[in-house]
Amino acid sequence: MRMNESIEPVNQYLSFVLAGEEYALGLVHVKEIIECSALTRVPGVPAWIRGVLNLRGSVVPVIDLAVKFGLPATAITRRTCVIVVELTVEREQMVMGVMADGVDQVLELAANDIQPPPPFGPKVRIDCIEGMGDSNGRFVVLLNMDRILSSSELVAASDAAQAEATNDLAALEEITVA
């Protein structure tokens, strides 16, 4: 390589399947990927909040992006997983689980591999799409996790997790007292 050639920065994305379509999230948001085990349903929350899970003692809300995008709910199979992501909401960090039919691969995309989102097509609000990544001749929808849910929706998910944590604590106290 010549000294005057510049190296184009590469961004990494985790690709996953949702309702038969391939999407990807910036790897910087992904904390871990876990098997989709039993979720605790929280009454009175929107249908796209599938429940909460216990992640090493922390209550984490789990959302079903398929439902959020107006698609059929994600069926839980052997391959179904939860991608644990960290979002920034009004300058606060929030941990949340995102259901996926399965995780595919880590994509490395340079800026010239990413096209702007189309004005039509995917069943996602256009402001939620970071771009369309060109991966070996096929496009992958690159999602912007910080924009997928509005502040009020994130508060609803957080409240659901807090309510479940409070219920768990109350149940534990009842057992301890009895």
- State the CATH number of the domain containing residue 68: 2.40.50.180
What pLDDT is attached to residue 158? 62
Q: Which residues of the chain have pLDDT under 70?
A: 1-8, 120-125, 150-178
What pLDDT is attached to residue 88? 78
The pair of three-digit structure tokens given for residue 126, joined into one six-digit string: 């256009």
What pLDDT is attached to residue 172? 40
Check: CB of residue 29 under 8 Å from CB of residue 86.
yes
What pLDDT is attached to residue 176? 44
For 52, the domain range is 10-177
26 is a domain residue: yes
5 is a domain residue: no
What number of H helices and E strands is found in the chain? 3, 11
Strand ranges for 19-161 from DSSP E: 21-26, 30-35, 49-55, 58-63, 81-89, 92-100, 102-110, 114-115, 129-135, 138-143
Check: CB of residue 62 under 8 Å from CB of residue 53.
yes
Longest dimension (CA), the chain: 75
35 is a domain residue: yes
The pair of three-digit structure tokens given for residue 59, joined into one six-digit string: 């209550």
With a CB cutoff of 8 Å and minimum separation 6, the contacts of 22 are 15, 16, 104, 138, 140, 141
36 is a domain residue: yes
Q: Output DSSP code: residue 39.
A: P
- Please state the domain count of the chain: 1
3 is a domain residue: no
1 is a domain residue: no
154 is a domain residue: yes
Q: Any bridge partners for residue 21, and if so which? A: 18
172 is a domain residue: yes
With a CB cutoff of 8 Å and minimum separation 6, the contacts of 177 are none
